[in-house]
């Protein structure tokens, strides 16, 4: 079957005149075969093609080929042989039968039985019709496949190693993309063939793109370090090609690569720096064999925390989430991942399922972190040793438009969880914070800094400072917080937004051309949180050495170029994607910082620093929080902003209050006042 397919592909690739010559030769052979078979049917014995037998053979060829040409049979395309082709064949065979029968049956030729003049045209009709139908069956599907493949996007694979070879094999019959060659840096491979495809030097990429019409480049270099991948990306971005990649070696350890493994560029590739490598001991120290709680477990950071925690096999993992759908999603994912990992370990899924309850228990819990009674019930029932507090409102504009709820959730949610943890003997309480807490210009950043101050004050105060009821005094809880920059790939990240805008043809929206941010990936952030919590001694603020901040417009431009497109601007008015500057949003600032002071101290992790920053003692902070709570309950936004400004060092709110409720209430009051004025007039 493969041989026939290969022969068909080669036949389709032949020039048209050569293909017509082959068909003429085929029909001539069928004429000879038909005469030979006609003699057998007449005489009951096979005869050799010599003597008198040559006369009907030569006559058949001399009559059939001109008639076939005259009636247009060779203008019909074999692979499309249908009713029109059959009608042309019928006309040709009528003319042929009349001519051949007149010669050998009506008039007669010495040495040739007259019945041959009738039998041979019927046999020839069967042979020629069968050849056309066979060609349709044999070549028709191949031609359609060829047309389909020629219409597919063409791709070059960068990397002619094992991963590249496996990828080319997996994509040989892909309905989505067609591989037309390889690129590789090894000059010993240049000019060679791999899986029948040529290997080109990357320096010839422009020529190869013109020759092959390739529009995509698939990176198959999973073992290359980050700096090498960035060198390749910088080389490719000068050409209008879409760049996609394979996962790392750990993801293809099975030795098999499939088309589904090809994906858009990793966010790590867009960052252009090596991710922070975790310390395995720090990851496991507060998790393995223990009961661990994650609040906000269905969010971007919370869900990744759960995935990382599960790898270290806790005894119990408590998932606390206010969103029912988000909680269901992360519970199903984690249970599936755990069962799969255990089945991979011993190859027996049923045995793994039996062992499941004895190894790790995943408990989904619907709860609001602001509900202190509910949180107390949960911690009292399971007594977690470590709590990772990721529940928070983090979207800057939304919190700016809903400041009272932002304060309630981010500050009192943290306070409620921290005090409950303290009462129930939690050993480690880790707050997920943000770089926006440093000299904030928005409510979200100010609330996160105030949440940090709450934990710092609780860490300094005596255990059980707000203990209520008859609970026994518990061991001191170690409070720490982890501050990091923007997380790429999260629900509010610019990367998925930019990708969708580029996919839709633009424009790509930017709030300001000079805006910069620190970036990290979700797994990197989650690992940092876990490791920092393991190093906490009480009241610590951990920050990551994240290198240089990234200019958002440069990130967007890199994404456009690696999608095979160009930016439309003054220097390139014919570009593909336009950038649209929308202006800074409420509470947004151009630059972010990680430290309030200038006194970071090193830790045992080379990329994690520790800062001891100024905060109010618990007695003083508690009084100020009571005043702030009254303003929050009354939704007195100007008072909320004023009190946050007094509490949080460096907080500079924007000039206007943009709280939706406050603005609507002010507008309503103005309309009522105007109405009363008109009534009085």
Which candidate in 422, 436, 589, 610 is catalytic?
A: 436
How would DSSP label each residue in 329-352? HHHHHHHHHHHHHHHHHHS-HHHH
Tell me the three state secondary structure of residue 55: helix
Q: Which of 637, 526, 647 is nearest to 587 (CA)?
A: 637
Structure-token pair, residue 246: 């394979």
Beta-carbon contacts of residue 537 (< 8 Å; ≥ 6 apart): 478, 480
**Residue 189, SS3?**
coil
Q: What would the 3-class secondary structure string for 69-104 be? A: HHCCCCCCCHHHCCHHHHHHHHHHHHHHHHHHHHHH
- Residue 436 known to be catalytic: yes
Residue 656 DSSP SS3:
coil
CA distances to 24, 88, 131, 365, 505 from 84, in Å: 19, 6, 16, 71, 45
Q: Can you read off the two tokens belonging to residue 500? A: 């969708």
Q: Which of 413, 393, 426, 410 is nearest to 536 (CA)?
A: 426
Give the 3-state secondary structure of residue 131: helix
Contact 19, 11 (CB under 8 A): yes
Q: How do beta strands 242-245 and 263-264 pair?
A: antiparallel
Helix (DSSP H) and strand (DSSP E) numbers for the chain: 24, 23
Q: Which residues contact 277 (CB under 8 A, 6 or more apart)?
A: none
Distance CA 420, CA 374 (A): 10
Please tell me whether residue 108 adopts helix, strand or coil conformation: coil
The β-bridge relationship of strands 316-321 and 291-295 is: parallel
Instruction: Report residue 361 as tokens.
Output: 């228990």
**Residue 164 half-sphere exposure, CB side, CA atoms within 13 Å?**
26
* Helix 116-151 with 54-70: angle, nearest 10 deg: 50
Dump strand ranges (E) for 108-210. 154-158, 178-183, 193-194, 197-200
Closest among 265, 262, 214, 241 to 561, alpha carbons compared: 241
Report the alpha-carbon angle 268-272-276, nearest 5.
Answer: 60
The DSSP-derived string for 455-515 is: HHHHHHSPTTTT--TTPPP-PPPEEEEEE--EEETSTT-HHHHHHHHHHTT-PEEES-TT-
Q: Quote the distance between the C-alpha of residue 486 and its chain's center.
A: 19
Non-local CB neighbours of 354 within 8 Å, separated by 6+ positions: none
What are the tokens at 388?
């990772």
Active site residues: 436
């Amino acid at each position: 079957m493969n041989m026939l397919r290969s022969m068909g592909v080669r036949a389709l690739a032949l020039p048209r005149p050569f293909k017509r010559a082959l068909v003429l030769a085929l029909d001539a052979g069928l004429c000879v075969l038909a005469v030979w078979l006609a003699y057998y049917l007449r005489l009951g014995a096979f005869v050799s093609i010599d003597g008198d037998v040559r006369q009907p053979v030569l006559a058949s060829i001399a009559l059939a080929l001109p008639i076939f040409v005259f009636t247009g049979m060779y203008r019909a395309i074999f692979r499309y042989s249908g009713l029109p082709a059959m009608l042309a064949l019928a006309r040709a065979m009528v003319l042929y039968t009349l001519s051949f029968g007149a010669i050998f049956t009506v008039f007669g030729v010495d040495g040739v039985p007259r019945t041959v003049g009738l039998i041979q045209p019927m046999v020839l009709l069967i042979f020629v019709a069968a050849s056309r139908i066979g060609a349709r069956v044999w070549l028709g599907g191949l031609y359609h496949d060829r047309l389909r493949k020629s219409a597919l996007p063409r791709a070059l694979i960068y990397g002619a190693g094992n991963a590249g070879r496996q990828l080319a094999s997996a994509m040989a019959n892909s309905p989505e993309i067609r591989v037309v060659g390889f690129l590789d840096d090894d000059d010993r491979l240049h000019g060679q063939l791999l899986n029948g495809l040529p290997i080109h030097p990357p320096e010839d990429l422009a020529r190869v793109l013109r020759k092959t019409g390739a529009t995509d480049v698939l990176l198959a270099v999973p073992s290359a370090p980050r700096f090498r991948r960035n060198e390749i990306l910088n080389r490719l971005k000068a050409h209008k090609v879409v760049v996609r990649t394979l996962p790392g070696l750990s993801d293809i350890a099975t030795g098999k690569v499939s088309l589904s493994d090809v994906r858009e560029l990793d966010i790590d590739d867009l960052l252009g720096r090596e991710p922070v490598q975790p310390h395995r001991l720090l990851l496991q120290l507060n998790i393995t064999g223990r009961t661990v709680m994650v609040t906000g477990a269905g969010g971007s950071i919370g869900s990744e925390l759960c995935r990382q925690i599960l790898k270290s096999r806790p005894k119990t993992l408590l998932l606390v989430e206010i969103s029912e759908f988000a909680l269901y999603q992360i519970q199903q994912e984690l249970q599936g991942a755990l069962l799969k990992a255990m089945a991979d370990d011993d190859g027996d899924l049923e045995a793994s399922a039996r062992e499941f309850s004895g190894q790790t228990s995943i408990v989904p819990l619907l709860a609001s972190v602001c509900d202190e009674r509910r949180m107390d019930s949960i911690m009292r029932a399971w007594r977690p040793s470590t709590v990772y507090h990721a529940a928070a409102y983090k979207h800057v504009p939304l919190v700016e438009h809903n400041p009272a709820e932002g304060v309630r959730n981010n500050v009192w949610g943290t306070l409620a969880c921290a005090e409950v943890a303290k009462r129930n003997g939690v050993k480690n309480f880790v707050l997920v914070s943000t770089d926006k807490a440093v000299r904030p210009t928005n409510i979200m950043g100010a609330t996160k800094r105030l949440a940090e101050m709450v934990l710092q004050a609780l860490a300094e105060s005596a255990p059980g400072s707000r203990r209520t009821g008859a609970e026994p005094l518990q061991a001191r809880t170690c409070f720490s917080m982890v501050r990091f920059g923007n997380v790429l790939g999260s629900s509010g990240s610019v990367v998925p937004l930019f990708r969708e805008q580029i996919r839709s043809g633009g424009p790509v929206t930017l709030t300001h051309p000079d805006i910069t941010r620190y970036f990290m990936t979700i797994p990197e952030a989650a690992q940092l949180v876990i490791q920092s919590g393991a190093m906490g001694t009480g009241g610590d603020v951990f920050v990551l050495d994240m290198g240089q901040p990234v200019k958002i417009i440069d990130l967007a431009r890199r994404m456009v170029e690696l999608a095979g497109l160009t930016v439309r601007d003054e220097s390139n008015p014919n570009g593909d994607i336009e950038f649209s500057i929308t202006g800074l949003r409420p509470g947004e600032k151009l630059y972010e910082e990680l430290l309030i002071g200038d006194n970071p101290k090193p830790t045992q992790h080379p990329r994690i620093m520790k800062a001891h920053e100024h905060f109010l003692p618990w007695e003083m902070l508690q009084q100020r929080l009571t005043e702030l709570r009254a303003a929050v309950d009354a939704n007195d936004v100007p008072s909320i902003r004023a009190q946050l400004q007094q509490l949080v060092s460096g907080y500079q709110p924007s000039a206007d209050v943009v709280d939706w409720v406050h603005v609507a209430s002010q507008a309503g009051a103005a309309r009522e006042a105007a109405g009363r004025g008109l009534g009085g007039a």
